[in-house]
Structure 1
Amino acid sequence: MLNRRSYLGATAGGIGTALLAGCLGEDGDGEYPDSQLRVVISWGQGGGTDLYTREIWQHIADNHDVGVQFENIEGAAGMQGLTDIYSADPDGYTLGPINSPDVAQFLIQEPGFGVDDYSYIGGYTRDVWVLVANQDEGFDDLEDVVDAYDDGDIEAIGGQPTGSPSHILAETMQNELDIQWDNYIAYDGSGAVIEAVAGDEVPVGIVTETAAEDAEDQLDVLTALHSDGSVVFPDLPAYTEYGYDDDIDFMGGFLRAFIAPPDVDDDQLEVLTDSLEEVLESDEMEEWAEETGNDVEFIPPEEALSVMEENQEEIPANIDLDDLE
């Protein structure tokens, strides 16, 4: 079960100067980083991963007085962007986000490398998926959605691409909770799912709590799909409050982290990790977290990797991967 820890409120204080001192570049001149960072986001703009990544790495780039280029490289259920990160020059200037359920795509697509091959910078939050609905449907809670599927009033559910974490979660809801949707409609990222639900293209969708918070006025947020509930929506009922066992928790919640290509220099990686920790514990990020409801916490790189490896065992133990190809 995921343990959502509260935001770490300590300020950066006197450690800022030490962290920003960096390390020498490859040629021994200047400090690292001393040129533009390239941040590859494997999902579309407007989703939770995109929102977090842009906010965090803009602060880090500003602290180091360097530029940052954000690239949304979508496709193959996130694997196109993750492959770009893996294949990039390990010079310490290319990095990007990874979410623990992304492990499924490594198992399905078998790209020739795994989640444990990357250089881990650290985690930045723990998140949950939520169920959202078009406001015109008039659903008050999860029970209304289940009844609508059973009665044939609705048939579809929206989520990210086939084989993605939200698709696996939808399949798990069908198998373990007996929520009998008929058609899974795939979109590129939570932002696109929100647009489809709000525009009545699909009645119900699965999105991250972060993305849902930014679109709360466009749709109804019905249920947290993890038994711990939602930090972003503290009053939102968890699915287990409707009598279900916590059988989908392994997919309903997840850890978000940042990675770099394999074999990044240890000194450079340490600078990136220290810079991430400093920003996550800064007053600016605390204010952003309070204003947006997007919880943040620094998670050491070794812990982030451990969660990825745990998912690598849990997913095939609970899901028939052949059904997702």
Structure 2
Amino acid sequence: MIRIAIDAMGGDHGPEVTIAGLQKVVERRPDVRFHIFGRDERVRPQLAKFPRVAEVSEFTHCDVAVRMDDKPSQALRQGRWKSSMWKAIEAVKTNDADVCVSAGNTGALMAMSKFCLRTMVSIERPAIAAIWPTSRGESVVLDVGATIGADAHQLIDFAILGSAMARAIFAIERPSVGLLNVGVEEVKGQEEVKEAGRLLREANLKSMDYHGFVEGDDIGKGSVDVVVTEGFAGNIALKTAEGTARQIGGYLREAMSRTLMSKIGAVFARDAFNRLREKMDVRKINGGVFLGLNGIVVKSHGGTDDEGFAAAVELGYDMARSRLIDGIRRDIEAFHGHIAEKRIAMEEDSAASED
């Protein structure tokens, strides 16, 4: 059984959406169990509407619900040990759950996750990884907002984290990894990006196939399985893509309803538009995974509906089922083993030259 801790109070709609989303998960994932945290007066009426969810769930009342506009420091100070968000994260720490899912305040969720679960050994900063639809299928993009700025070693950490996630969800033995840059030439870009590229190329890790630099348009093309960048650029890219998808959808609706002939044409093209809508449905790829922590935390979009929340829960399910954390730890050990071997070799060469 995969055990998932749910912060039912998170998001713009709270239990009305989260519990309805769990109903969809139960229908598609019969081996799942939930531990739901939230306010009794809000959660129990929803569980009564979805008895199938209630059958596979344990519920714990929590006095505090983190608000969407709470500052992370405020939420951490006031919500520790009492809030539904903290309790859901803590369930992962105590091994009562395999993964935590929340649609709540992103800053508060990250702050509490870092405080409760701590970062893995050798990982300086966690990252938020998103699934990105591409012309070839899907890619992993990180970081999309956890950190602002990153040095070479932090970018390498992101590459290791992202490749482990890609193996887990795409079943690719050696995912291709690219560093997002202003050009594909080795002389272009910030020094941190160029240094990270050099180190990844030299390491030649078995866990990934380092592709080199990629540009912004390569994300949509699906040129690589994993795109690595720091959080400022990654978040802008993500929000730009989401906005562009909505903009194109608005243009199509306007164009198809402008004249009688366009309306008739829209009727005949209904199947094609339905396929396009399916491709551009952001609910299907909802869920950002917090990587680099000693446990799996998935952040759902706060304004999503029940289908979107179900997608985030199923993403967490897949991460837990594939034992993502174990894979990340192996990859980290392999990379730092390479660095240690290189350091020893350099010291031996230096000692030999002195002799």
**Structure-1-length-normalised TM-score:** 0.30
Q: Rg bigger for which structure? A: 2
Greater share of residues in helix: 2
**Structure-2-length-normalised TM-score:** 0.28
Structure scoring higher RCO (CA < 8 A, sep ≥ 6) equals 1
